[in-house]
Amino acid sequence: MTQKYKLINFSFPNFFEQSVEDFTKMLLLYNKTHNITGSKNATDIQENIYDSVYPLQFLNNEFKNATDIGSGAGFPAVVLALAMPYCHFTLYEPIAKKSAFLHLIKSELDISNIDIKTSRIEKGKPKIVDLITSRAVCGTDLLIKLSKGFYDKNTIMLFYKGQKANEEIANLKNAQIFTRGLRRYILIKGLNGGI
């Protein structure tokens, strides 16, 4: 049980804390040359790690597969994959230098439950998944449209948003917002066929 990252109703695997420490070091090193994240120090990265896993305490699901849209430097998908080794993640990241970093992390940390696609999700082969995640990519309506073919009524969508989250879900019946500081986590369940 990890001590640095604690959540209600969720237990991290034993290797989680060491893995995210290694991830932090690699991200700081890679970022010096390639500038793939605004997080410039370990404290900022640790905050992004906690931000990534925070929603796990209210999901209460053991997902088998997930898709992440616009994976960037690995928040939240790499961190979630480390926290949930039983869930297979497919990461869509069209920017080559960010995708290269994700491939490096997968290899160096031996993360067997992720696949990385250097493309946009709309060019990917549709496959229904249990969980769809995204952080800071585009509006919720567009994320749902881009995800068509990847979700059904049983899929849960988890979008990491800012203070305009309420506006983004105004037309959605099956959406909830969880708040932590300035972060808004949009949780959508039960969509079938689109918005």
Cα–Cα distance between 39 and 27 in angstroms, integer?
9
By the 8 A CB rule, do 183 and 195 touch?
A: no
Structural domain total, the chain: 1
pTM of the model: 0.94
SS3 for 126-181 is CCCCCEEEEECCCCHHHHHHHCCCCCCCCCEEEEEECCCHHHHCCCCCCEEEEEEC
**176 has pLDDT over 90:** yes
Is residue 3 in some structural domain?
A: no
Q: Does any domain span residue 25?
A: yes
- Helices and strands (DSSP H and E) totals, the chain: 7, 7
Give domain status of residue 133, yes or no. Answer: yes
Classify residue 2: in a domain, yes or no: no
- Residue 95: which domain range? 16-189
Q: Model confidence over 99-142: pLDDT tens digits?
A: 999 999 999 999 999 999 999 999 999 999 999 999 988 999 99
Lowest mean pLDDT among 11-15, 59-63, 76-80, 190-194: 190-194
25: domain CATH number is 3.40.50.150
Peptide bond into 76 cis (omega under 30): yes
> Is residue 45 a part of any domain in this protein?
yes
- pLDDT band for position 1 (50/70/90)? very low
Q: How confident is the model at residue 2 (pLDDT cuts 50, 70, 90)?
A: very low
pLDDT in tens, 150-171: 999 999 999 999 989 999 999 8
Does any domain span residue 195? no
Residue 52 in any domain: the answer is yes
